[in-house]
Chain A
Amino acid sequence: DAGVTQSPTHLIKTRGQQVTLRCSPKSGHDTVSWYQQALGQGPQFIFQYYEEEERQRGNFPDRFSGHQFPNYSSELNVNALLLGDSALYLCASSFFVDPLNTEAFFGQGTRLTVV
């Protein structure tokens, strides 16, 4: 079992550009959540996808959008990149029906640098 896999591992983009990050959940998991972790800070919840729909959203602007595919994998899209979007983006997968008893598994993250 490969666990949660994210790609790419590192990315450098220019201010104003758009970026797409990808996540494959752990086998058997049906829910994907995305988090932004700025340097020296704790992860901040962006949004969560289940059954190809956004189920919950944190305090992030509409420039942040996502998608979930029928195979449960997910993409995070960020438009009009700002310098402040530079961070580690973490994907977590879990099982929607029983969140209390299902550990959320995190990927290694994608380090995004906006210049």
Chain B
Amino acid sequence: GNSVTQMEGPVTLSEEAFLTINCTYTATGYPSLFWYVQYPGEGLQLLLKATKADDKGSNKGFEATYRKETTSFHLEKGSVQVSDSAVYFCALSGGSGGYQKVTFGTGTKLQVIP
């Protein structure tokens, strides 16, 4: 079945530092890949997505590239802000699970300090 593995947190960075959160996946076929963000006390928001190999998803300065050869979808941002503090979830749909079901990783908590 489908699965997602992402780096454990928490990750603590100073403001304006470079961010990388690693994510790898296991799925058959050609899944769609996502990054969701969860701010304290809130639900999930879709941050970015990529639906085929070599696609780059980007939003709010964050970006991730769908790498089928390494089954990875690492999240990066060049300069983080305090307001980026949240929990980030890598996720996928498709493959053996069907496109209507989303499989999530365990989440990585990011804390950005001034």
Contact = CB atoms under 8 A, between A and B. Distances in A.
Contact of A90 (B44, B98, B105): B44
B106 A41 contact: yes
A107 interface: yes
A41 B36 CA distance: 13
Given A100-B32, A100-B51, A45 B42 contact: no
A92 B105 CA distance: 17
A72 interface: no
Interface string A33-52: 10100001111110010100
A113 interface: no
A58 interface: yes
B101 interface: yes
B18 interface: no
B43 A90 contact: yes
Contacts of A109: 43
Interface residues of A, number: 28
Given A41-B107, A99-B93, A33 B100 contact: yes
B100 A56 contact: yes
A33 B36 CA distance: 16
Contacts of B102: 33, 35, 43, 45, 92, 104
B71 interface: no
A100 B99 contact: yes
A67 B36 CA distance: 26
A56 B98 contact: yes
Given A42-B89, A42-B105, A42-B107, A108 B43 contact: yes
Contacts of B93: 99
A44 B32 CA distance: 17
Nearest to B105: A42
Interface string B70-103: 0000000000000000000101011000111111
